[in-house]
Structure 1
Amino acid sequence: MSVDSYLANLASEMVIRDSKKESISLSISTLHSRLKEYFGKDIIDVIKFGSYTRGTILPRRYDDKSDVDIMIVFNNDYDYKPQTFLDRLKKFAQQKYSTSYVYQSNPTIVLELNHIKLELVPAVKIYSWSDDYYNIPYNSSSWLVTRPKAFDNLLVECNKNNLNKIKPIVRLIKHWNIVNNYRDADSYQLEKKIAEEMKYSYFSCSSYSDYIKQALQVIRLYSSEYRIDLAISRIDKALNLEAEGYPYSAESEIKKVFPGI
């Protein structure tokens, strides 16, 4: 197997599929119904966002901290602080999911189910004329403006511009960040930087290894330069071994950067 074939296959394995995807979708649908039943008109909307909607979430066998972000948009006529809504969501989760593990992990409420972890994020819509401006908790007492659809659209556009290689590359980089970078970089920042900086990478990249090396350069500010340089040198070594006619040694070398499960 070539280096690029190995990377492509590994990235493909990191897509949540079939019964597991159906199970997650069912859990989200059940959560939506229970939220509406519990809060009634206090809730304006329930919105999936984050890596799950972007198709860059890693299955739990690759990331045991993998989670799905759910934004619960509340009415906030009395200008409550985030902690008020966090307390209400925690009470809801403890009551409706009494056998599950529920806790606050600032600034979200985490609901751990058997097959997935859901992060419940309270939100308040900012502008009535736009469907993509929300306040979410920055901490327990202050809000932060976010535009989840804007980033999703940016990543989708970047992916299309680059022959649909960006989403697989993001998944591979996140995997590297876990196994070889010890989660030193924030997962969201990795995605954001890659989407912002690699929009026109098709001018200089064609293979998965090209894209991977550029992505590693792009995230240099968010990670250990030594680990990034080590990853790039191992990729180059794998490519050289492959060019010299040693495919098994090449595959062994690339697995040091992106091991399988």
Structure 2
Amino acid sequence: MSVNNYLSTLSSSLVLSSTENTNIRTSIANLSRNLNYYFNQGQLHTHFQFGSSTRGTILPRRVDSGSDVDYMVVFKNPRGFTPETLLKHLKDFMHTYYSRSEIYKDSPTMVLELNHIKFELVPAIQDDWGNFSIPSKQYILSRWMPTDPMGFNEKITRVNVYNNSRIKPLVRLMKYWNTNKLDGYFYSFELENMIVQRYDYNRRGSLKEYVYDAFESMIPSYDDSQRFKDRLARAKEIINDVKWHEQRGYDLQAREKIKNLFPEV
């Protein structure tokens, strides 16, 4: 098996199983129904799933224990409550319907951990033109910041199509590396956005070439930790080693080398 075939097979194994997808759909249906029951006085505009679980780039929990489903709860908020107050409303809701589950705040979200999946509920508000805002992590100018929860889905779909459906597999592989080798150094969306920006009209030939280029183009900043810089440097050494063996026809050895970055699942 070549390096490219190995990476393609591994990326396919990083997709949620049918059982996981069924469990998530069931939990979302229950969550949606419970939100409607609890906020039954017209407090909400809407609520919906968003994020990597809607893009096909979420990792299974067997390889990423922190894997979660993002869910936005849009409040009408006529009294201008702060994000903290709306987070408290979500906390009270969770304790009402999920008292036996683990519930905690991970600003700016409320986290609900069920047996098979973790939900991050994000409070949001909506203006008269339908634009969404979510709590700002840094209260510099405002407690709220604008967001387009589904806009990135359209962009990653476009870039994935342009790149012959290799971007989503690449994202899953790089998120696997981030989880397995970097202990989640990058935020999930941050890593996805970096990849999409890189390959917007910047096509490569095969999945392995995308992987090689993703590592080779990654340049640490001054603010990055030394631990990350060391691990990135090591990753680049491995990529160079893999390519050296491939160029000499040592495909078996090259495949074994790439497993140092992407172990078998």
Is the contact between residue 193 and residue 219 of structure 1 (CA under 8 Å) also seen in structure 2? no
How far 1:191 moved relative to its partner? Answer: 0.8
Contact 1:107–1:140 (8 Å) recurs in 2: no
2:239 aligned partner, one-letter code? I
Deviations 1:30-81 (A, max 9, x none): 1000001100211111111111111111000110000000000111111110
Pairing partner for 2:133 from 120, 132, 135:
135
Q: Please give the alpha-carbon distance, in whole angstroms, between the structure 2 residues aligned to 1:58 and 1:168.
A: 11
Deviation, 1:217, is 4.1
CA RMSD of aligned residues (A): 1.8
The count of residues paired between Structure 1 and Structure 2 equals 256
> Which residue pairs with 2:261 in the alignment?
257
Q: Secondary structure at the match of 1:257?
A: coil
Alpha-carbon distance between aligned partners in 1 of 2:216 and 2:29, rounded to the nearest angstrom? 39
Distance in 2 (CA, whole Å) between partners of 1:207 and 1:192 is 20
The alpha carbon displacement at 1:185 in A equals: 2.0
Q: Which residue of 1 aligns with 2:15?
A: 15
Richer in helix (by share): 1
Deviation of residue 139 (structure 1)?
4.2
Aligned mates of 1:116, 1:4 — CA distance in 2: 31
Runs of 4+ residues over 6 Å off in structure 1: none
What secondary structure, in the 3-state scheme, does the structure 1 residue paired with 2:259 have? helix
Query: What's the offset of the Cα at 1:93?
Result: 0.4
Q: Does structure 2 conserve the Cα–Cα contact (< 8 Å) formed by 1:176 and 1:257?
A: yes
Question: How much does 1:219 deviate?
Answer: 4.2
Aligned to 1:145: 146
TM-aligned CA deviation for residue 99 of structure 1: 1.2
Change (3 A) 1:18 1:33: same
59-68 vs 212-221, which moves further: 212-221
Match for residue 214 of structure 1?
A: 213
Amino acid at match of 1:213: Y
Instruction: Classify 1:140/1:176 alpha carbon distance in 2 versus 1 (closer, same or farther; 3 Å).
Output: closer
CA contact (8 A) 1:52 1:69 kept: yes
Q: Report the Cα distance in structure 2 between the residues aligned to 1:254 and 1:140, rounded to whole angstroms.
A: 39
Equivalents in 2 of 1:198, 1:140: separation in Å?
30
Which consecutive residues of structure 2, in runs of 5 or more, have no partner in the other structure? none
| Alignment counterpart, residue 240 of structure 1, candidates 233, 238, 244 | 244
**Is the CA contact (8 Å cut-off) linking 1:194 and 1:219 kept in structure 2?**
no
TM-score (norm 1): 0.92
Q: Deviations over 1:119-156 (max 9, x none)?
A: 01111012x334xx311112497112111222111111
Residue 186 of structure 1, CA deviation: 2.0
